[in-house]
Amino acid sequence: MKLLPGIPAYLQIKDYYKNLIDTGALKEGDYLPSVRDTSLLIGVNPNTVQRAFSMLIELGYLTPISGKGNRINKVDNQEENDELYQLIQDIKFNGYSLQEIKKRVEKMIEKEEKENDPNK
């Protein structure tokens, strides 16, 4: 995996493993490489990898197993594969509440509607 500039590394790592799981390259019951091994392989701080793995745990893709690592789960929920759902989960992970997200999105929609109003 090669990281791209301008995109947070933890998001790239999360998306990389999510894609491998979604496409079936990694199967239910498999284990991801350890945080340490992944950080050495990619060349990032272990905290960056842990953040990505924590997001995958929160999304239901992984289950942490004490002493073994992170086991891949079967993900049946189509909503979790939706890009907007993923975006909201990423924003929540960065500390925003659903109420804050909703308020900000509503303001943005109002602004867009005003700017795109053909009766201007």
pTM of the model: 0.64
Residue 78's pLDDT is: 46
CB within 8 Å of 8: residues ≥ 6 apart: none
Annotate 12-27 with b (16+ C-beta within 10 A) or e (fewer): bbbbbbbebbeeeebe
Kindly state the tokens that stand for 82.
């939706």
Summarised one tens digit per residue, pLDDT across range 28-74 is 999 999 999 999 999 999 999 999 999 999 988 999 999 899 999 97
Report the C-alpha gap between 120 and 21 in whole angstroms: 48
Collapse the DSSP code of 32 into the 3-class scheme (helix H, G, I; strand E, B; otherwise coil) and give the result.
Answer: coil
Over the stretch 68-116, which tens digit does the pLDDT of each residue have? 999 999 776 545 556 777 788 888 888 889 899 999 999 999 998 888 8
- Domains of the chain by range and CATH? 9-81 (1.10.10.10)
